[in-house]
Structure 1
Amino acid sequence: MQRTLITGANGFVGQQLCKTLQRSGHHVIAVSSRASQAVPFANETVCCDIREAEGVAQIIRDTSPSQIVHLAAITHIPKSFDFPQLTWQTNVMGSINVLEAMRKFAPECFILFVSSADVYGAAFKRNVPLDENVVCLPQNPYAASKLAAETAFNEYFRRGIRGVVARPFNHIGAHQSPDFVTASFARQIALIEAGKQDPVLKVGDLQASRDFLDVSDVCHAYEKLLGLSEGTQEHPRCFNISSGCSRRIADVLDALIKMSRADIVIEQDPARMRPSDIPCAVGDSQRMRQTMNWAPTISLNETLKELLDYWRAEAATA
């Protein structure tokens, strides 16, 4: 049985990944930033600030993982601008803390580092699906810190650490923070339906197009990548996880509104208006599809329905 340690396990993706891996027979060790709160679908929960090297080292020494998924990060782009030191300390130094602890106490372990498609940045202006060989041109502290962390991982890989980097595109689903666009839409619609918000849905920039995936499909991709730990052959070090399709945010909003029974007015909110420098972002995932035999299986409409139903349940108890 694989002993799989997941950093950032109390987050949106982390909780879903714990569930996916535990159901596949992994012994899941959840590393959470929240003290005294067990992570669902984890066999063990330990608490740690990823920025504290000694704490990270003690956890890896004590738990003896055979696999690690490093998810812990500052992921909200506006927050990365507001708190750059926190972003760099968490996303870069936190990653190095994990790598150093692994080198010292679990050198045979295999690590999956979850980076981000945001590292491509200005390269998306080419308006074509990007593959892993494109030069990255990050445009915000979050993306820049993720690319810096990738550089650290590649250096440790060069020195013999076993692992791989994933670059997931926009993944959405239940339990995601309403700081993110689709969750914000679904939450507002649910509150309007419940009579807890005026029938005005406030939005920011709707013109950008993004490559959306269901979080469950992304977690299954991570599970596939962890399977590389059992092979002896050389494999690529970096994989895009994407649908290959770009959807306008305006169209996603329209799909959610069509699922609602309420009459809703859309209103642009100046506080939410952050016109995107990247009008269209879409990924080429042929490497993942061909090497790992992975493809997304959940349609965007299915994901949006589940997302809206989740927020309806939340609104009912708010």
Structure 2
Amino acid sequence: MTVALVTGATGFLGRYVKRELIRRGMKAVALCRSPGSADVLLSRTPTRHELRVILDKVRPSLIFHLAGLTRSDVPEDIYQANVVLAVHLLEAALSLDRPPTVVLVGSAAEYGRSTHRDCIVRETDPCMPLSLYGISKLTQTHHGLAAHARGLPVVVARLFNPIGAGAPRTTALGNFVSQLAATSRPGRTLRTGPLNAVRDFLDAADAARVLIDLAETPGAVGQVVNVCTGIGNTVQHLVDRLMRVADRPVAHEIEVERHGTSDLDIIIGDTTRLRKLGIVIPPPDVDAILCQMLAAARSETGQVAL
């Protein structure tokens, strides 16, 4: 049986990856900080030696590195979570007699603004990230490619915008869904920032499937691969659909002083490299996903649809 180690397995995307691994008949070992959910429990950022001990015990053929931090006011925390942990993991994997294939999950935030008129970003484009998060993820990418040059099978999966049940409130759509799920009273108001940004949204379940497909595709090793649909949607479109699938009329108020989804107006991924590897991601079924997100969020808050 193939053994796969998943860091951040209790996070949003980690849960989807673990579920898909199990569905494919693999043994998924969760490495995380949540007691009761972890097969291997961490209390802090582990050292290279501590991770080597864990890898010696688990003996994974595949490692999916999803652990990280998207936001923090403390730069040191971002770098500990997104860079130092990855470096320790890569070094530990390199020290094994039979190094596993490592899938590093990157981010579209590594690109910064597109230099193309169509705003489609390609893996060969220069990366000029605008946020601390994007900079830290690009640094992780550099360490991953350097580890590959030293003999470790590494795939950098540059992930765009996954959506699905369980999306954290730190994401724009997760926040909007949480607002609607928090109350069942009439006259609800959804408060957002500006919604003109265009993003390449994909179903989180499809994202998980593609991460595993990339791990099993020899041609992906040593490459950065966009994990995206190649199709852009405005955040406004998703909010319109969210209000449409809600059980009661919802007022919408745009608070100009609130931050929008990001400093980037438009970012869409190029799918050429992904398609050359034989992998295609379909456009997300937005209404179905939003219904699932609302149901999951209401379950957490104890609310019911009226």
Aligned to 1:212: 201
| Deviation at residue 151 of structure 1 after TM alignment | 0.6
Q: In the aligned structure 2, how far is the partner of 1:234 from the partner of 1:224?
A: 9
CA distance 1:209–1:254, shift in 2 (3 Å): same
Cα RMSD of the aligned pairs, angstroms, is 2.1
Q: Secondary structure at the match of 2:158?
A: strand
Match of 1:46 among 33, 36, 40: 40
Structure 2: tracts of 5 or more residues without a match: none
| Deviation at residue 12 of structure 1 after TM alignment | 0.6
Conserved? CA contact 1:4–1:29, under 8 Å: yes
Aligned to 1:111: 102
| Deviation at residue 306 of structure 1 after TM alignment | 1.5
Aligned to 2:58: 63
Conserved? CA contact 2:60–2:100, under 8 Å: yes
Conserved? CA contact 1:217–1:297, under 8 Å: no
Aligned to 2:84: 93
Q: In the aligned structure 1, how far is the partner of 2:146 from the partner of 2:117?
A: 29
Aligned to 2:280: 294
Q: In the aligned structure 1, how far is the partner of 2:109 from the partner of 2:227?
A: 12
Conserved? CA contact 2:113–2:267, under 8 Å: no
Q: Which amino acid aligns with 2:33?
A: S
Aligned to 1:42: none
Q: In the aligned structure 2, how far is the partner of 1:311 from the partner of 1:106?
A: 44
Using the size of structure 1 for normalisation, the TM-score is 0.88
1:264 aligns with 2:250: yes
Flag the structure with higher helix content.
Answer: 1
Aligned to 2:36: 37
CA distance 1:21–1:275, shift in 2 (3 Å): closer
Deviation readout 1:44-101 (Å, 9 max, x if unpaired): x11125622143222112111111011111123xx2xx12110011111111100111
Conserved? CA contact 1:50–1:97, under 8 Å: no
Q: In the aligned structure 2, how far is the partner of 1:174 from the partner of 1:25?
A: 23
Flag as ranges the 4+ runs of structure 1 deviating above 6 A.
none
Aligned to 1:128: 119
Aligned to 1:7: 7
- Identity over aligned pairs, percent: 28
Q: In the aligned structure 1, how far is the partner of 2:182 from the partner of 2:56?
A: 46
Which is worse superposed, 14-23 or 295-304?
295-304
CA distance 1:201–1:23, shift in 2 (3 Å): same
Q: Secondary structure at the match of 2:127?
A: coil
Q: In the aligned structure 1, how far is the partner of 2:123 from the partner of 2:241?
A: 31
CA distance 1:302–1:222, shift in 2 (3 Å): same
Q: Which amino acid aligns with 1:47?
A: L
Conserved? CA contact 2:194–2:255, under 8 Å: no
